[in-house]
Structure 1
Amino acid sequence: MLKQRVLTALVLLMVLLPALFYTQPEPFFLIAAVFIAAAGWEWARMNGLSMSLSLVAGGLCVLACLGMWWTGVLVDAWPRVWLLTGTVWVLAGAWMLKAGVPAWSRVARPVRLVLGLLALCLTWLAVVQARLLGINFLLSVLALVWMADIGAYFSGRALGGRFTRRKLAVSISPGKSWEGVWGGMVGVILMACVWRYADLANGGASPSFYTLLGERGWGFMVVAVVFMAAMSVVGDLVESLVKRSAGVKDSSALLPGHGGVLDRVDALLPTLPLAMMLVSF
């Protein structure tokens, strides 16, 4: 399993990194659209669609992404779209986690399908616009999610072994704990402060997410990154809830050793649009 995970990660890096750092952003846009299409296929499968209809769902995601690209909306700020998307993620995420698996299962399948595909397409638009703001900006948002996950893993293991481990959402994801959440947030705050300091030391030619937040004060930046870390946990838990509703362990087997595309990008679904919301105003 470990060998599979490492090999898959290396292949993904060999594909993603050259596209990300290429002088023109278009190759990255295309690769991101392919990943979104794969996630759309997985979402349709988890919501009970056949293989052929799931492929159609993935194709619709690609067409929607290419349509946004062709019509030129990628360069528009869309602050109201990001505000609405962020608000929906906060409210819908809170409802789903409170109501649990049974409530989600009672939502009509067409509604579930449309909401998921729409969230995926908006995530593609967010990651594309983040890339247009600069590689440093996009990497800083991605790193926030990675740090929240890494910090949660190590603090959950360390603190959970010494103190009473308090489960975060035992019916959805039994392995997650409140100790992990707090540890992830501390890691995110430290990383944001160091990253912003490095930006300032380098003259801020290509500002990061933290530099743009810090223009409104250090306090605002800290509150914003804690909120983002919390929403990355929400994205992870929401996908776990959907998988429990579908009765599957992984969203698919597209990425050997890792599960599916949704298993790898679940925390990015709310955080990328929220990052664009925070810097659009």
Structure 2
Amino acid sequence: MLKTRVITAIVLLAVFLPVTLFAPVGAFGALIAFVLVFAAWEWARLLKLNGAGPVVYALVAAVALVASTKLGVGVKPPRPLFQAAAVFWVLAGPFVLMRKPVLAHGAWRLFLFLAGIIVFVACWHALVAARIEGVPFVLSLLLVVWLADIGAYFAGKAFGKHKLAPAISPGKTWEGAAGGWLAVIVVAGVAVATHALAPTLYSDLVTRLGTPRAFVALTLLVAFSVVGDLFESMLKRQAGVKDSSGLLPGHGGVLDRIDALLPVLPLAMLLLG
């Protein structure tokens, strides 16, 4: 299992790293779109759409993504799209985690089919807009989620005692979440203090909001990275599966890799104005 996980990680890095660092924005956008179409397919499967339904849903997501490019990215990113995605995560995300409704049934299922299209399209626009700002910027944005996840893992292993959401994801703890938050704050602080690779998400937040409010903004982003992770965990638990799919051997599915990014990306774009 470890060997499979390592091989998959190496292949993913070999594909994504050169495209992110060196390819034109168009190639980067095409790769992200390709990934998100598979994420949409997994979303439909977790909502128990049968037969060819997940493929049709993925195609609808692809068409919506292409159509949305007319809204513009870069200089004038589609703010209403980011707002719609943010409203979903700020309102529906915590509500679902607290009340635990049955998601793959009735009105909730229909709502999540519609919301999913907005979430995936907003994710694409946010990443492309971030890439237009520069490689350091898009990497600093991704680092919020990566550091929160890595910090949570090690802090949870070392100090975890109090369960964060035992009915949804028994392995997560409050101590782990705090460790992930601390990792993000420390790296952001060092990046801003040393002006490393500026402009980054961290330097732009400080410039726009000031240091105290930038600190609050980063805390908000870390919190919603946890919300995204837990939301997908709940979808999987209700669907009776461990992973969103087997597309990435040793790592699960695409949604398993990007679940925390889905809320963080539109929120970060809105915080930056």
Q: Which band: TM-score by shorter chain?
A: over 0.9
Partner of 2:6: 6
Worse-superposed segment, 183-192 or 54-63: 54-63
CA contact (8 A) 2:245 2:254 kept: yes
Indicate the SS of the match to 1:250. Answer: coil
Offset of residue 254 of structure 1: 0.2
Partner of 1:270: 263
Question: Which TM-score applies when normalising by structure 1?
Answer: 0.91
Instruction: Describe how 1:86-125 pairs up with structure 2 within 5 A.
Output: 86-100=86-100, 102-108=101-107, 109-125=109-125
d(CA) in 2 for partners of 1:104 and 1:28? Answer: 33
d(CA) in 2 for partners of 1:6 and 1:224? Answer: 34
User: Is 1:209 aligned to residue 205 of structure 2?
Assistant: no
Instruction: Describe how 1:171-210 pairs up with structure 2 within 5 A.
Output: 171-199=167-195, 204=198, 207-210=199-202
d(CA) in 2 for partners of 1:182 and 1:35? Answer: 30
d(CA) in 2 for partners of 1:208 and 1:192? Answer: 9
Partner of 2:147: 147
User: Is 1:234 aligned to residue 233 of structure 2?
Assistant: no
d(CA) in 2 for partners of 1:105 and 1:99? Answer: 15
Instruction: Describe how 1:245-260 pairs up with structure 2 within 5 A.
Output: 245-260=238-253
User: Is 1:62 aligned to residue 62 of structure 2?
Assistant: yes
Offset of residue 23 of structure 1: 4.7
Partner of 1:74: 73
Q: Which amino acid counterpart does residue 212 of structure 1 have in structure 2?
A: D
Q: How far does the alpha carbon of each residue in 1:201-236 deviate from its partner, in whole angstroms, 9 at most, with x for none?
A: 66x4xx100001111221111111111111000000
d(CA) in 1 for partners of 2:255 and 2:132? Answer: 24
Offset of residue 116 of structure 1: 1.8
CA-atom RMSD, angstroms?
1.6
Worse-superposed segment, 116-125 or 173-182: 116-125
CA contact (8 A) 1:140 1:208 kept: yes
User: Is 1:85 aligned to residue 85 of structure 2?
Assistant: yes
User: Is 1:166 aligned to residue 169 of structure 2?
Assistant: no
Over 3 Å counting, the alpha-carbon distance change for 1:271 and 1:107 in structure 2 is farther
Q: Which amino acid counterpart does residue 45 of structure 1 have in structure 2?
A: R
Offset of residue 104 of structure 1: 2.9
CA contact (8 A) 1:68 1:74 kept: no
CA contact (8 A) 1:43 1:117 kept: no
Indicate the SS of the match to 1:175. Answer: strand
d(CA) in 1 for partners of 2:189 and 2:223? Answer: 18
CA contact (8 A) 2:228 2:259 kept: yes
Offset of residue 49 of structure 1: 1.6
Offset of residue 106 of structure 1: 4.7
Offset of residue 50 of structure 1: 2.4
Residue ranges of structure 2 left out of the alignment (5+ in a row): none
Indicate the SS of the match to 2:164. Answer: strand
CA contact (8 A) 1:156 1:177 kept: yes
User: Is 1:219 aligned to residue 207 of structure 2?
Assistant: no
Q: How far does the alpha carbon of each residue in 1:108-158 deviate from its partner, in whole angstroms, 9 at most, with x for none?
A: 332222222321121111111111121111100100101101111111111
**Identical-pair percentage:** 44
Q: How far does the alpha carbon of each residue in 1:234-263 deviate from its partner, in whole angstroms, 9 at most, with x for none?
A: 000000001111111110000000000000
Q: Which amino acid counterpart does residue 3 of structure 1 have in structure 2?
A: K
Indicate the SS of the match to 1:104. Answer: coil
Q: Which amino acid counterpart does residue 181 of structure 2 have in structure 1?
A: M
Question: How many residues were matched structurally?
Answer: 270
Worse-superposed segment, 81-90 or 169-178: 81-90
d(CA) in 2 for partners of 1:262 and 1:23? Answer: 24
Over 3 Å counting, the alpha-carbon distance change for 1:115 and 1:46 in structure 2 is same
d(CA) in 2 for partners of 1:18 and 1:72? Answer: 28
